[in-house]
Structure 1
Amino acid sequence: MTDHVTQAYLDDESLHGVMGRLDLPPALRAAYGHRLVDRPFFLDEYTAHDVAADVLDFFELLFSLPRKMFGGSFTRFAEALGIPPEEAAIMGSDRPPMHGRADIYRVGDDFRLLEVNAGSQLGGPDLGELSRVIHSDPGFQPFVREHGLGYFHPVEKLLDAVGRDRTIAFLEEGGMLTRFAKGFASFRETCARLGVDVLLGELHELTTRDGYLYLHGTKLDVVVRYFSATQAVSHAETLAKGHKTELYTPLSSYYYGSKSTIALLSEHREVLDDDEKALVDRLVPWTRSVRDVPRDRLRADRENLIVKAAGGFAGAGVHPGWLMTDRDWVEMLDDVVKQPYVVQERVRPTPDVVPGDDRPWLTTWGWFVTDQGFAGMSIRSMPFADGAVVSYAGNPLTRVSGLLVH
């Protein structure tokens, strides 16, 4: 069912030019201005909070997996997820703060969870800035007032979590700061507008002194982590010495962003109580480790399955069966069967409409959550004909938009 504000927007052609006239801040324009969906998205605030509450409960369920399934052993938990021992050794076992994004498809009036991303290393929080600019556009203000529209900003929620009065660095590694330079410039621009000047750097640029981490000579109170456990292994000694500098989020959050956790919950229903089973059934499509599914089942049901690298991001390692030939599908299965990959039931989302474009559009709703609940949205969309990987960094045909709530 189409949201009534969405329908009102689609019915009023005078509103359809809003995305083309937005007064975007310079770094935001450089990062996203050439890849905007030609419409905003809308959602009632009750649903935004209601789905976020389910996502928070789902994260709590993920946090309980080491106890529920492995007797509290993080060594066995890491083995089940396919995490190498050298990475598990630096990840620890602390419960991380709640900071994540759930990537979700809308199916009619329901929402189905494709995967969760746990930790601070998430793309798209600066799309809250796009929501802000749409909301403040002078020509769009009558519509905003008529429908009582507002927005939630993920970067604001991130800064609230780490503390705005502290010295903060966003850290990457392996040249990723350069690869994603436009995105980080947009993050930094957004933080500056919110009154916080953040530093940018990479792990190898850190030094240590008196138990603190320093970046280019500046003592850091907080490191907001954009590097992975894989990248951190060769810097374990530096990170251990920096215990007085908070690492947000800690490397332990890396466990819970693995797609293998969803496979564990989907398969091992015997460890769940009735409410937990209902939550998993409501959110999660059938998901299994590739190695646990008979090959004949995988081959026969190619059109209804998608295979994903358990620790992949930005669309890496994603293989939608319905877009592959039988031969390519079998060869792919042979390649990944001994690696940490999951297979998931295909979710068929409700198409979205973009004014002036008669193609059906495929949208991923990225629900950001923190300990305080709903923290904003990352909207990524593209025509169905452009593939099955809706990832800004992983598919150049993916576009973005902002979300307004009512």
Structure 2
Amino acid sequence: MSGTHPWFGVDGPPAGREYGTAQVKSTLRHELRDCGTRLGSEVLALQPLVAARAAYDELFSSARGLLRLIERAVREAAPDRAGRLKALGADEEPYPFFVSDEDFEIRYAATMARPDVVIGPDGPKFLEFNVSGTFGGPAEIHLFTEAWTRIYGGSDAAPFQGYEPFAARAALYRRVCAELNLPPAVALLGSRLDRPGAQSARYYELESAYFRRQGLASEFLEPADLTGGDGGGPRYDLLHRYFAVDDWRDLGIDLEPVHRAVDRGALLFPPQSSYLLANKKTLAWISEGQPWMTEEDRELVARYLPWTRLVHPRKVVWNGRRHDLATLLLEHRRDFVLKKAIGMMGLQVTLGPHTTEQEWGEVVAAALADGESIVQEYVEPGRYRMQMSREAGPEPQEVDIAPVLSPVLFGGAAAGCWARYHGTGKAGIIGASGFGATENVLLAARTRPPRTAGQG
């Protein structure tokens, strides 16, 4: 499909941009400086993505519904953590920060989520759910929104609006502190080593400064900063977990200070159990159906989730017919995607349509053997016509991009929508920086016309 998919409900770039091409580029690069944001060296967007308000809000309402089902699927899998790990075929070693309070673990497991969505032929399709405090998007949404609002003449003039992720997360933490009878304070626990090439901790400090303006004591802490100079108790009772254990192990970051802080009473948030919800096997569970699911639940899944199944030697029903799964995958390569159940940043994902028969056969054989993958029906992403500036030429060009949209939920509240795509217009894996994607934000068209002064 060429041009913008009708689901977005818009036709052409938003009107009213006050900055020229050079000023747009310099504003974006200044606003997003030192945050590791991928803006693209070859192409740079001259506009945000915009959707009609109804479409924009559909992303968040459907995300809430699916997240509710994923959370219940994990709860129903077993009455305790050990049983849930067993049901997922996981062991505890990759998850070293469980606490003994299982009510805390499961109560707050779904408080922070960022699904990844493409717009298929009939609307949004959810490819996965990132559930943790580690995922990217909130700072990027905040900064892109501020930049585009300025470029389009300010908040009173811009023809779009968006949800503020830092405000939603601050509201969540104020509520959590009250529920846990803690002082209104939270530190952001991360590391500058997680932001390649960053010259400062600006990525984290932007959010902690926002929290302070919202009435939360807050600062960014590296692991070595967790305790006071006397080596006593933790400086904060609540620590926002801005790290993934595997990433820190790969980077050689010592986890021992974190263990000491937790042993002395600090709470990592969200809890370790959030990662159980992020296991992609949960998508297969609700796609195949669970005994407790209502007809309304099944309709929600059928509408928004691609057909998804656990991969092991078995029979499955696809398109109304019963198949041997191995035969189905080998004979219909172009219809499927294989994903490791535990993975992030687009790694351990194989797109059948973008893979040779030999490569696909090898991946299918490995997945059937280890039982640690899911298969999803491939969804051809709908396009969005984007006005881009190419470094090689001064004139803007239009590119039909294939965006992955990432609506963020904090405590169930909408917290903005990140967008990533290949600036060249190609479709494919979006994730780790090695895949060459660039970033932006999806905003909602205003429900009322903005003022006209200064529009161009």
- TM-score using structure 2 length: 0.75
CA distance in 2, matches of 1:374, 1:170: 21
Match of 1:223 among 224, 239, 251: 239
Q: Choose from 130, 138, 141 the match for 2:153.
A: 141
Residue 363 of structure 1 deviates from its aligned partner by 0.2
| Other-structure match for 2:161 | 150
Contact between 1:211 and 1:241, CA under 8 Å: does it hold in 2? Answer: no
Q: Is the 8 A contact 1:16 1:39 kept in 2?
A: no
11, 16, 25: which one aligns with 1:7: 11
* d(CA) in 2 for partners of 1:251, 1:229: 10
Does the Cα contact within 8 Å between 1:167 and 1:198 map onto a contact in 2?
no
Matched residue, 1:42 = 50
**2:260 aligned to which of 208, 228, 238:** 238
SS of the residue 2:306 aligns to = coil
User: Which secondary structure state, in structure 2, belongs to the residue aligned with residue 50 of structure 1?
Assistant: helix
Match of 2:194 among 177, 189, 199: 177
| 2:138 and 2:165 in contact (8 A); partners too | yes
Q: 2:414 aligns with which of 367, 371, 374?
A: 374
Matched residue SS, 1:94: helix
Q: What are the within-5 Å matches in structure 2 for residues 274-313 of structure 1?
A: 274-292=295-313, 294-313=325-344
When residues 184 and 279 of structure 1 are mapped into structure 2, their CA distance, relative to the original with a 3 A threshold, is farther
Residue 136 (structure 2) aligns with: 123
**Per-residue CA shift, 1:299-346, capped at 9, x if unaligned?**
111111111121211111111111111111111223333052211110
Question: Is 1:325 aligned with 2:356?
Answer: yes
Instruction: Report the alpha carbon displacement of residue 194 of structure 1 after superposing the two structures with TM.
Output: 6.0
Matching of residues 163-174 of structure 1 within 5 Å = 163=174, 166-172=184-190
CA shift digits 1:80-107 (9 cap, x unpaired)? 3232133467535422252111111113
Structure 1 CA distance for aligned equivalents of residues 344 and 384 of structure 2: 24
Structure 1 residue 8 displacement after superposition: 4.7
1:23-42 per-residue CA deviation (whole Å, 9 max, x = no partner) reads 65555365337434332111
| 8 A contact 2:111–2:410 mirrored in 1 | yes
1:86 counterpart SS class: coil
Equivalent-residue separation in structure 1 for 2:261 and 2:125 (angstroms): 37
**Contact between 2:401 and 2:424, CA under 8 Å: does it hold in 1?**
yes
* RMSD of aligned residue pairs (Cα, Å): 3.6
The ranges of structure 1 where at least 4 consecutive aligned residues each deviate by more than 6 angstroms after the TM superposition are 10-16, 208-212, 231-234
The answer for the alignment partner of 1:404 in structure 2 is: 443
Contact 1:267 1:288 (8 Å CA) reproduced: yes
Inter-CA distance 3–38: structure 2 relative to 1 (3 Å threshold):
farther
Measure, in 2, the Cα distance between the counterparts of 1:182 and 1:322.
40
Contact 1:229 1:254 in 2 (8 A): no
Whether 2:381 is the aligned partner of 1:349: answer yes
| 3-state DSSP of counterpart to 2:339 | strand
How has the CA–CA distance of structure 1 residues 183 and 303 changed in structure 2, closer, same or farther, with 3 Å as cutoff? farther
The structure with more radius of gyration: 2
Give the counterpart of 2:106 among 94, 106, 120.
94
Structure 2 CA distance for aligned equivalents of residues 183 and 380 of structure 1: 24
Change (3 A) 1:134 1:254: same
Change (3 A) 1:48 1:210: farther
Q: Which moved more, 1:111-120 or 1:14-23?
A: 14-23
TM-score, structure 1 as length reference: 0.83
Seen in structure 2, the aligned counterparts of structure 1 residues 227 and 22 have a Cα distance that, compared at 3 Å, is closer
CA distance, structure 1, for counterparts of residue 8 and residue 405 of structure 2: 18
* Alignment length (residue pairs): 394
1:245-264 map, 5 Å: 245-264=266-285
Q: Structure 1 pair 238/208, CA: closer, same or farther in 2 (3 Å)?
A: farther
Q: In 1, distance between residues paired with 2:154 and 2:236?
A: 44
Structure with the higher helix share, 1 or 2: 1
Identify the range of structure 1 (97-106 vs 332-341) with the bigger mean alpha-carbon deviation: 332-341
CA offset at residue 132 of structure 1? 1.6
How has the CA–CA distance of structure 1 residues 315 and 66 changed in structure 2, closer, same or farther, with 3 Å as cutoff? closer
In the TM superposition, what whole-angstrom CA distance separates every residue of 1:171-211 from its partner, at most 9, and x where no partner exists? 247x8535484795323235436646522313x76459999
Alpha carbons of structure 1 residues 60 and 23: separation in structure 2 relative to 1, 3 Å: closer
Residue 104 in 1 paired to residue 117 in 2? Answer: yes
Partner Cα separation in structure 1 for residue 423 and residue 87 of structure 2:
36
Distance 1:335 1:387 in 2: 25
Residue 391 of structure 2 aligns with which residue? Answer: none
Report the counterpart of residue 219 of structure 2 in structure 1: 198
Does the 8 Å CA contact 2:131/2:274 hold for their aligned counterparts? yes
| Cα distance change on mapping 1:136 and 1:282 into 2, 3 Å | same
Structure 1 residue ranges without an equivalent (≥5): none
Distance 1:27 1:212 in 2: 37
Is the CA contact (8 Å cut-off) linking 1:166 and 1:222 kept in structure 2? Answer: no
Change beyond 3 A, Cα 1:166–1:10: closer
